[in-house]
Structure 1
Amino acid sequence: MPKVAYSDADRERIRTALITAALERMAQKGTQHTTVEEIYRSVGISRTFFYTFFPTKEDLIVETFYFQQPRILAYAQSLMDDPALSWREGVCQFLMSCCYGEQNGIAVMTLEEQQMLFRRLSPESYQVFREKQASLFGTLLKIFGVTADRETIGLFTNLSLTAMVFRRAVPENLPFLVPEAADAAVKFQIEAIADCLERLKNGQSAPKDKE
């Protein structure tokens, strides 16, 4: 007979399994092409039971991004602690791994996926997402030895996500750019971000808008 009662430990185990399955698929295929059905089937539960954990697909998506944050931070720290890498090499390798997330088990949203998620999140959920995002990028800056004030966190977030979104946007969403030069452009962006962080690490101010 099917099991009708689950302990708290059982539910936590199943919830973690669902998020882990979602992360694996989202990293490979993106959030848009990852379905709820393939996730709950891979864990061996019913659709109805799945929705007792996550009321919507969007709830699962955001929880998956929250779930991977400690892994991302641990990875960044491991690069900074690697004696075989210089500081700059560690930063560049981290950003490169994120830009090519499907090769490294890191889920990164495309421009379309960000827009879709934004439209479907409640204002409260959106605010929590932004706060957790700021916390992630702020902690990354600290790992890289850069002072993480609000302005610097915002700059680093925008520069990093721009490189990641660009890499996934060519050529499908940016058809008039040159796809053969996409990898070189991503590398250039990453080097520019490393230049910026190095200046900040050495105590130079971030560039400000002209009034």
Structure 2
Amino acid sequence: MPKVAYSEAEKAQVREALLTKGLELLAKQGIQHTTVEQIYKAVGISRTFFYSFFPTKESLIIEALYLQQPRVLVYAQKLMDAPSLSWREAVTQFLCACCYGEKNGILILTIEEQQMLFRRLSHEAYRTFREKQIRLFGNILECFGIGADCARVGLFTNISLMAMIVRRAIPETMPLFVPEAADETVAFQIKAIVDFLEPLKKENFCR
């Protein structure tokens, strides 16, 4: 029988569990194939209790993405601190892990998922998400040892997300792309990004 009364501390634990399990399922299965029922059953609570924490599935998804951001940054720093990896190897491994997010527990939205999710966000919620996203990518650049001015952060955000999204989009969303060359395409894009970033690191180091 489900528990009837929860303390505030227990509620906080349940909320955290929902976000953690939700992020895990969403990253592995994608938004469209992950249901609210799967999440609340995995945590061991009722549907009604779930909706006392998150009024919609979309609200949980946004909070799960926020939960993911510091974890992604910690992962990037771990790679940069690894003595066995060169700078290029660390950055390449980080970008590769993001492009193959479902294999690494990182939630990357497809084009359709982005459209579906952001159509349902308020203007204020959308603005908050963009601010947090810009901060994340700026922090990643700084983790790489690169100065994070606005223009640089914007470009890095776009070229990184392009590699991640294109990889997820072949062949379902982009059927004219060649699926057999998807992995080689991702590798080419990641190399191009690293080639773009490396001189910026050296430039920042020399200042």
TM class by shorter chain equals over 0.9
- 2:123 is matched with which residue? 123
- 1:90 is matched with which residue? 90
Q: Give, in angstroms, the shift of residue 120 of structure 1.
A: 0.6
- 1:5 is matched with which residue? 5
1:155-210 Cα shifts (integer Å, max 9, x gaps): 01001100000000000011111100000000000000001111222228xxxxxx
Counterpart mapping for 1:106-145 below 5 A: 106-145=106-145
Distance in 2 between the 1:10 and 1:66 partners?
A: 21
Alpha carbons 2:111, 2:165 under 8 Å: kept: yes
1:17-38 Cα shifts (integer Å, max 9, x gaps): 1011111111111112111111
Counterpart mapping for 1:116-195 below 5 A: 116-195=116-195
Alpha carbons 2:2, 2:46 under 8 Å: kept: no
1:51-77 Cα shifts (integer Å, max 9, x gaps): 110111111001001111111111100
Alpha carbons 2:27, 2:107 under 8 Å: kept: yes
Unaligned runs of 5+ in 2: none
- 2:69 is matched with which residue? 69
CA RMSD of aligned residues (A): 1.1
Distance in 2 between the 1:141 and 1:49 partners?
A: 40
Q: What letter is aligned with 2:129?
A: F
Percent identity, aligned pairs only, is: 64
In the alignment of these two chains, the number of paired residues is 204
Distance in 1 between the 2:40 and 2:161 partners?
A: 30
Q: What letter is aligned with 1:104?
A: N
- Regions of 4+ moved over 4 Å: none
Unaligned runs of 5+ in 1: 205-211
